[in-house]
Amino acid sequence: MVVPYKHEPFTDFLVEENKHAFEAGLKVVHSYLNHDYDLVIGGERVATKDKIISINPANKEEIIGSVSKATREHAEKAMQIADETFKSWRKSKPEMRADILFRAAAIVRRRKHEFSALLVKEAGKPWNEADADTAEAIDFMEYYGRQMLSLKDGIPVESRQIEYNRFNYIPLGVGIVISPWNFAFAIMAGMTSAAFVSGNTVLLKPASTTPVVAAKFIEVLEEAGLPPGVVNYVPGSGAEVGDYLVEHPRTRFISFTGSREVGVRIYERAAKVHEGQIWLKRVIAEMGGKDTIVVDSSADLELAAQSIVASAFGFSGQKCSACSRAVILEDVYDRVLTRVVEITKNLTVGNTKDSTIYMGPVIDQAAYEKILNYIEIGKVEGRLVAGGNGDNSQGFFIEPTIFADVSENARIMKEEIFGPVVAFCKARDFDHAIDIANNTEYGLTGAVLTNNRSHIEKAREDFHVGNLYFNRGCTGAIVGYQPFGGFNMSGTDSKAGGPDYLLLHMQAKTTSEML
């Protein structure tokens, strides 16, 4: 019997011992900086001349690793191997597949601070955010392993006296896992684990800015006993390898997490049936957000201000769940804004190798430019009350930025910025606040700060987001506790870390035997 699932606790870095343990993790990562990582196809290492160079976004000079870059030929080879491996893997015992995940989780837990330190280096995460990312990766493995055990015998259905009916879930086939850089470990590991524990084989294409943590995860899976060919590691260009695999007739499903733009492209391309294809591809797509915190007049205003700051600027606002719109009822608007500005002006920005830094860099030059461009738009659409500047001399740093008095139809109220920028908007009353919150094509997360029960009930019914929180911020869902996924253009609401997630990777089969 496995012990009941419980989420991995977060580390308190005020405890000296934990701080030292994390520093030791950073040293381990330093010992393998600038190493080469090969593709892994059918268990074989394949080196290519063309490389993806992964750098530290806080220090452009520091190379995290050079990663081989798959071409279409490599992708084709990996597809053939995954397709072949599926013939045996689909019949492997679910208990064995779950055991591999439990062992992989145990290996990561033992090397927890090393993995988090790698996220500090490769993604520019502050220590607490990196620690949460690693904890979530462990949680996904522990949770999906248990989910597989609970689904392995199917669900009872009725039988008449003359027959014996069964209803079981079987795997789909080869899945393409395309992961983002912002939860470079958790989301990548979660999507991959769900796919293979359900009996599918996988081609994993991680984000090009964070491929090293994915290479390390592959090593963990090998150590945990995953047979060759079940998960194949094929980092490469989205346009070249991504499109090729999405359109491949042997691709059975695509599990994607990333931007709306790429998600829609994948959804459209996957819908086309190609020659030789004998199924309709399934697409699991989790995309962007434009998430809102609503504060009413009855709220604890200090809690509201702290929640807005943490949700807007944690990991530099680079979360699909980040608060990029604060909608405040007009009678408390000035007080909340003043307090948020005050807290924000005390936040530290810099290289997160130092544990005391609150906010690190944004991920790369393209993100830096895009965010600064939105800041320029914000200067026209609102009143700049904090931040507004960037510095990319060493890394890609942008100050936490607040715009006040932004109209509900402004671009910075509608478009995902994916950086440390929050817009404040005034609402006449609570109904107006919920209308503003819903006035976007996304529907991922939201929060309401209130002590008014009827406002809670109204928001529960009318605030149209996949993850709605009361009296807290809008980030930080925990696997198995707050299944995560959004409505509308935020994706297919697949609810990662929830009880239905594995079913998206399987198909139900009914068998009926006459007695």
Ligand X SMILES: N[C@@H](CCC=O)C(=O)O
Ligand Y SMILES: NC(=O)c1ccc[n+]([C@@H]2O[C@H](COP(=O)([O-])OP(=O)(O)OC[C@H]3O[C@@H](n4cnc5c(N)ncnc54)[C@H](O)[C@@H]3O)[C@@H](O)[C@H]2O)c1
Per CB under 6 A, residues contacting ligand Y are 178-183, 187, 205-208, 238-239, 242-243, 246, 257-259, 262, 265-266, 286-289, 320, 416, 418, 444, 486, 490-491
CB of 141 to ligand Y, least distance (A): 17
Nearer to ligand X, 22 or 418 (CB): 418
* Residue 490 within binding range of ligand X, rule CB under 6 A: no
Backbone angles phi, psi at 513, to 5 degrees: -110, 130
Catalytic residue among 129, 136, 320, 381: 320
The smaller minimum CB distance to ligand X, of residues 175 and 497, is found at 497
Residue 157 has a CB neighbour count (10 Å cut-off) of 10
Least distance (Å) between residue 245 CB and ligand Y = 7
Query: Does position 266 bind ligand X by CB under 6 A?
Result: no
Site string for ligand X, 303-322 (x = CB under 6 A): ----------------xxx-
**Residue (287 or 305) nearer to ligand Y, CB:** 287
Give 183 or 403: the residue with its C-beta nearer to ligand X. Answer: 183
Binder to ligand X among 476, 480, 485, 486 (CB under 6 A)? 476
CB of 392 to ligand X, least distance (A): 23
Partner whose footprint covers residue 476, from ligand Y, ligand X, none (CB < 5 to 8 Å by kind): ligand X
Q: Do 401 and 382 form a contact (C-beta atoms < 8 A)?
A: no
Stretch that binds ligand X, among 324-332, 385-393, 430-438, 470-478 (CB under 6 A): 470-478
- 1 vs 332: CA distance, rounded Å: 53
One-letter amino acid identity for 71?
T
Q: What share of the chain is helix, strand, coil (3-state, %, to 5)?
A: 40, 20, 35
3-state SS assignment for residue 286: strand
The minimum distance between CB 372 and ligand Y, in angstroms, equals 17
Give the residue among 345, 357, 328, 325 at the shortest CA–CA distance from 438. Answer: 325
What DSSP string runs through 197-209?
HTT-EEEEE--TT
Q: Is 440 in the site for ligand X (CB under 6 A)?
A: no
418 touches, from ligand Y, ligand X, none (C-beta below 5 to 8 Å by class):
ligand Y
Task: Retrieve residue 493's tokens.
Answer: 């609401």
Distances (CA, A) of 54 to 61, 361, 363: 11, 15, 11
Kindly tell me which of 225 and 499 has the beta carbon lying closer to ligand X: 499
Residues 351 and 372: their CA atoms lie apart, in Å, by: 19
181 binds, among ligand X, ligand Y, none (CB under 5 to 8 A by kind): ligand Y
- Cβ atoms of 74 and 234 within 8 Å: the answer is yes
Rounded Cα–Cα distance for residues 194 and 478 (Å): 16
Q: What span, in angstroms and rounded, lies between the C-alpha atoms of 90 and 167?
A: 17
Contact between 182 and ligand X by CB under 6 A: the answer reads yes
Rule CB under 6 A: choose which of 192, 193, 210, 475 binds ligand X.
475
Helix (H) / strand (E) element for 40: namely strand 39-41
Q: CA-CA distance, 421 to 388, in Å (whole number)? A: 9
**Binds ligand X (CB under 6 A): choice among 22, 89, 169, 183:** 183
Q: What is the DSSP string of 150-162?
A: HHTT-------TT
Rounded to whole angstroms, how far apart are CA atoms 324 and 313? Answer: 9
Shortest distance (Å) from residue 122 CB to ligand X: 16
Q: Is 286 a catalytic residue?
A: yes
Amino acid identity at 200:
N
Nearer to ligand Y, 70 or 328 (CB): 70
- Is 128 a binder of ligand X (CB under 6 A)? no
Check 286, 399, 408, 416 and give the catalytic one.
Answer: 286
State the binding partner of 420 from ligand X, ligand Y, none, CB within 5 to 8 A by kind.
none
The item of ligand Y, ligand X, none sharing an interface with residue 475, based on CB under 5 to 8 Å by kind, is ligand X
Residue pair 422/312 in contact by the 8 Å Cβ criterion: yes
The gap between the terminal CA atoms of the chain, to the nearest Å, is: 33
Pick one of ligand X, ligand Y, none as the site partner of residue 477 (Cβ within 5 to 8 A by kind).
ligand X
323 binds ligand X (CB under 6 A): no
Structure token digits, residue 67: 């990663």
- Residues designated catalytic: 286, 320
The site for ligand X (CB under 6 A) is made up of 182-183, 319-321, 475-477, 484
